Structure 1
Amino acid sequence: MWNRIFPLIYERYLAKQIYLSFIFILIALVSLFVFFDFIAEVNDTNNTYTFLLAFATVIFKIPSRIVEIMPIAALIGAIYVCANLAAQSEYTILRVAGLQPIKALQTLIKVAIPIAIATLVMSEFVGPIAETISKNIRVSALNAGIEKLDFKSGAWIKDKRRDEDGNGKIKEGTRYINVGSFENTSGVKGFRMYEFDEKNRLINIRIANSVTFINANQWQLNNVTETHFKETNDANRLDPSFNTEIKKSPSEIITTEVNPQLLGVLLIKPDRMSLLDLFSYINHLRDNKQDYQRYAIAFWKKLIYPFTVLVMLALALPFAYLQTRSGGIGYKVFGGIMLGISFQLFNSLFSHLGLLAEWPSLVSAITPATIYFILALIGISWVSKT
């Protein structure tokens, strides 16, 4: 398998050196982040949230950290290898033997593909699962399993209106669901539902102390208070009159388009979500005519992000053409670190610019990688001629 992917001797040599450097740097950077994450968690420890639970919380965050670090670790590792080859004149020998820049770039792209696939797997499958476990450990220890929301008003999500009993076919109008806090995946606390008809008139308010998820589309409301509004005189729109009916019940079952996964999305940063969850939430926002630009940009960034490893290794190739027989490797590695940090900052900057300027989400996500890849090609062309 190894010989099939890298059939030439110099390809196997480069791949081995880059992978070893990449793994070493990845372990070093992850260890550094784990240390700082643990220091941050220690501040919240108490009788229930012990040091062991805090450490477990940090450990399950590692896959997400690995995803964040992989492209930078690949860049630093590749720069170190290329600079080392240049310092020892090994790359000069390869050039004399007929290694053209385009062939070297193709080799680095082949080296990058397994790292990109590993990044995609970690980002899509391992990372979200581990992030959920980490959050559940922390929430269970600190808040008795209740996830408190950042906003005082709780979380708001738009839904489709149904009959007066909360079931039946979808009708014209809108529902707005408000929840105060989450109890892991079993239900929510502090539930409110506001229903508006096709003329945007408030017709019903449901308030429940708690909600239990029966299945993906059915919720059981507990200790429910319903307030129905019926307009009795619409002749004067400036002075309408209403009849109000209040109804209380111990429990009530409603049908909704909002499933627990969609509610869970409100607790997770878009870049930590899986592509499937992002796609599902984007469709929900689009169906309800809500702004989904932020999540669309996050979707495309997450899809493109693993392949930025290819860009990072392309950026490392020009360093092989800079001849430094004595020293200089440290400066190149430092330059690689700065290059990687600048890419991350530029990537975040374009996300915000895309939101402000309302650019197409794909353009906002792919522009930074495209610009840096063009810079890599310009750098390779320039140094290969000097």
Structure 2
Amino acid sequence: MSAVFGRLDRYIVLAIFGLSAVVGLGLVALYSFINFITEVDSGSRSLGVTQIFTMTLLLMPSGLYVLMPLVAMLGTLLGVGQLAAQSELTAMRAAGYSNLRIGRAALIAGLLLGVLAVVLGESLAPAGQQAAERVKSVARGGIAAGVSSKPVWLRDGNNIFLIRRLLAEDHFADAEIFRFDDALTLRSVLSVEDADYSQGVWLLNRVTETAFGGDHTRVDKHETLEWTSGLKPEVLRFYVLESESVSASGLMRLIEYLEANGLDASDQRLELWRKLIAPITVTAMVLFAVPFVFGPTRGGGAGQRLLLGVLVGVGFHLLNEVSANLGALYGWSAPVSAGTPTAVLMVLALIRLATAR
């Protein structure tokens, strides 16, 4: 193992990690400060300073997740650049440590940073965003996060749900259920005052059922009705949340539900692929940064490398957004829309690393 991953490899990885941690701390602090000032300037009387500060803290993992490619780029530029400035890279190369081996060590650092991005995107960032929304929703209207204050339309097989008040993911009120047959003929409408989910079924309370049959209409009232449906509480939660607030596993379940009911899942599918490709993007950023240290920027100092990293990081972010929007506009597949910028960056990184002097 030591021959595969030696002491110098660990030294380079730790150098990248150390500077990435410093850069990450600085960027997240700036990102959070801007969020805090934005919320304060919005002038919302329902949110106090303490609540805004709590929301800012809860959104820090989300901010780090968004900034991870830039953090990886700047951390690598400064970390490997520091080794170059102290002539440590020169000594390594003189001892037979090739550019490709330096790139391999950087690749390992990039993979580890990519794992961190996965942890952030799958658990910490969604949990923080949902908790922050909970604080905001409760402060503004006493409605828990993950609950929509607007009417929610959903399809479940031949049934259409109109939920006017979603009180919790397993509790809604003031709803109507439109029941159609296979020929899309309206057969009945259920007006529901209140509904709770328990043991795999929805318990509908105080229901007025209007049935349409031929030339007559029948109205029945039910104190309670049991309703078995594919509309599970977790689907309701994922549906009303922003896609960025849902983990990849949650997006998969939501996409499965939407596709099973013939609903458009293109936005959710694109967001899923962006989450899946995020760790590869972080790794590509690290590899792309390494060759710049071998070139003329070595003599420009940390400031020039920092500026270079910011420009490349911002440019890549813009390219990523343009690719996603063009994909939505022209109907590209989600993997193409989400993965093209990262694929181009990775190819350029490998070419530059192989030809670096």
TM-score norm. by structure 2 comes to 0.91
Question: Is the Cα contact below 8 Å between 2:195 and 2:203 reproduced in 1?
Answer: yes
Q: Which amino acid aligns with 1:214?
A: S
Q: Which amino acid aligns with 2:153?
A: W
Instruction: Name which of 24, 33, 36 aligns with 1:35.
Output: 33
Q: Which amino acid aligns with 2:186?
A: L
Question: Is the Cα contact below 8 Å between 2:28 and 2:64 reproduced in 1?
Answer: yes
Instruction: Name which of 193, 218, 239 aligns with 2:201.
Output: 218
How far apart are 1:341 and its partner, in Å?
1.6
Q: What 5-or-longer segments of structure 2 have no aligned partner?
A: none
1:3-35 deviation line (CA, Å, top 9, x unaligned): 969842322221222111111111111111211
**Match of 2:211?**
228
Structure 1 274/244 Cα, relative in aligned 2: closer, same or farther at 3 Å? same
Task: State the SS of the aligned residue for 1:283.
Answer: helix
Structure 1 39/223 Cα, relative in aligned 2: closer, same or farther at 3 Å? farther
1:201-242 deviation line (CA, Å, top 9, x unaligned): 111112223322224x422233322221112xxxxxxxxxx3
Matches within 5 A, 1:13-162: 13-42=11-40, 43=42, 45-46=44-45, 49-145=47-143, 149=148, 154-160=151-157
Instruction: Name which of 256, 266, 279 aligns with 1:306.
Output: 279
Q: Which runs of 4+ in 1 moved over 6 A?
A: none
Instruction: Name which of 211, 221, 227 aligns with 1:248.
Output: 221
Q: How much identity, in percent, do the aligned residues show? A: 25
Task: State the SS of the aligned residue for 2:37.
Answer: helix
**88-97 or 55-64: which moved more?**
88-97
Task: State the SS of the aligned residue for 2:264.
Answer: coil
Question: Is the Cα contact below 8 Å between 2:81 and 2:298 reproduced in 1?
Answer: no
User: How far apart in 2 are the matches of 1:325 and 1:229?
Assistant: 79
Question: Is 1:340 aligned with 2:313?
Answer: yes
Question: Is the Cα contact below 8 Å between 1:86 and 1:322 reproduced in 2?
Answer: no
Task: State the SS of the aligned residue for 2:38.
Answer: helix
**Match of 1:171?**
none
Q: Which has the larger radius of gyration?
A: 1
RMSD between aligned residues: 2.4
How far apart are 1:193 and its partner, in Å?
1.4
1:296-344 deviation line (CA, Å, top 9, x unaligned): 2221221121222110111111112114565443122111112112222
Q: Which amino acid aligns with 1:67?
A: Y
Task: State the SS of the aligned residue for 2:356.
Answer: helix
Task: State the SS of the aligned residue for 1:289.
Answer: coil
**Match of 1:379?**
352
How far apart are 1:185 and its partner, in Å?
3.3
Matches within 5 A, 1:174-193: 174-193=158-177
Structure 1 5/199 Cα, relative in aligned 2: closer, same or farther at 3 Å? farther
Q: Which amino acid aligns with 1:158?
A: R
Instruction: Name which of 242, 245, 248 aligns with 1:275.
Output: 248
Question: Is the Cα contact below 8 Å between 1:91 and 1:320 reproduced in 2?
Answer: no
Name the structure with the higher helix share. Answer: 2
**204-213 or 17-26: which moved more?**
204-213
Task: State the SS of the aligned residue for 2:240.
Answer: coil
1:239-296 deviation line (CA, Å, top 9, x unaligned): xxx3222233343331110111111112222232112111111111221122222222
Structure 1 61/271 Cα, relative in aligned 2: closer, same or farther at 3 Å? same
TM-score norm. by structure 1 comes to 0.84
Q: Which amino acid aligns with 2:101?
A: K
Question: Is 1:209 aligned with 2:189?
Answer: no
Instruction: Name which of 323, 326, 333 aligns with 1:350.
Output: 323
Q: Which amino acid aligns with 1:224?
A: V
User: How far apart in 1 are the matches of 2:31 and 2:2?
Assistant: 36
**315-324 or 352-361: which moved more?**
352-361
**Match of 2:259?**
286
